[in-house]
Structures are given as structure tokens and as C-alpha cells.
Amino acid sequence: DVKVTQSSRYLVKRTGEKVFLECVQDMDHENMFWYRQDPGLGLRLIYFSYDVKMKEKGDIPEGYSVSREKKERFSLILESASTNQTSMYLCASRVGGQGNEQFFGPGTRLTVL
């Protein structure tokens, strides 16, 4: 079974703090993704990585950065957290190419106070 894990299920941070969200997959997948999930807005792509050290902006990259130094790990960084970044963050991974399933992590519920 594919396993995608995220470092925290719940996280509470203060405005202005630097926040790291980590995602690890154990299936040697090339592609990894970070999504943000908000009610009524579905899943919105923040960044994705198609290989180690490679990254592409998604639809809402502002205020976020990512790092992928190893194939199994994809980190999402909030340089200076703001209250409008309070959300559920979902990581996903998949084999590269067309038509391959994405496997999601359990999500991190981030609250920025």
C-alpha cells in the first residue's frame, strides 16, 4: 500500500511565525503536490514537484515556498504565517506521467492566530 504521511495532524501558530509542513511518501513517486482545502473552494494547488529539486507553482503560490531535497520528502514553508493561511493542507504523491492516481496524506489542519 502507498503510504503518504504528514508531520502533524493539527498545528497552531502565531501570525508572523515561520511554519514548516512536511510530507513523506514511501513509494518512490516522482510527483508530489501540496494542496489547500477550504470549504466551497475544493482543492487548490499551491505547488508541485515533478522530481527532486524541481518545483512548479500551482494556482495559489503566494505566501508559500517548497523544498524537495530528497525524492520521498516534500516540504511546504510559510515564511511568515498570516491568518488567511488558516486551512487544511493536503499533500499527495503519484507516479509521474499521464493518468496515474494521486495518493493523499491525512492532512494538516493549520490554525494561525
Q: Which residues bind other proteins (CB under 8 A)?
A: 4, 31, 33, 35, 40-45, 48, 50, 56, 58-59, 90, 96-99, 101-102, 104-107
Give whichever of 58 and 63 is closer to other proteins, judged by the CB atom. 58
Any residues with CB less than 8 A from the CB of 41 and at least 6 apart, and which? none
Cβ 86 to other proteins shortest distance, Å: 18
Cell numbers placing 7: 508531520
Cα angle 36-108-68, degrees, rounded to a multiple of 5: 75
Whose Cβ is closer to other proteins: residue 81's or residue 104's? 104
Least CB distance from residue 113 to other proteins, whole Å? 22
Q: How far is the CB of 7 from other proteins (least distance, A)?
A: 15
Q: 14 is written with which cell numbers?
A: 502565531
In the complex with other proteins, the residue whose CB is nearer, 25 or 81, is 25
Instruction: Compute CA distances 60 → 3, 26, 56, 69, 84, whole Å.
Output: 26, 27, 11, 22, 12
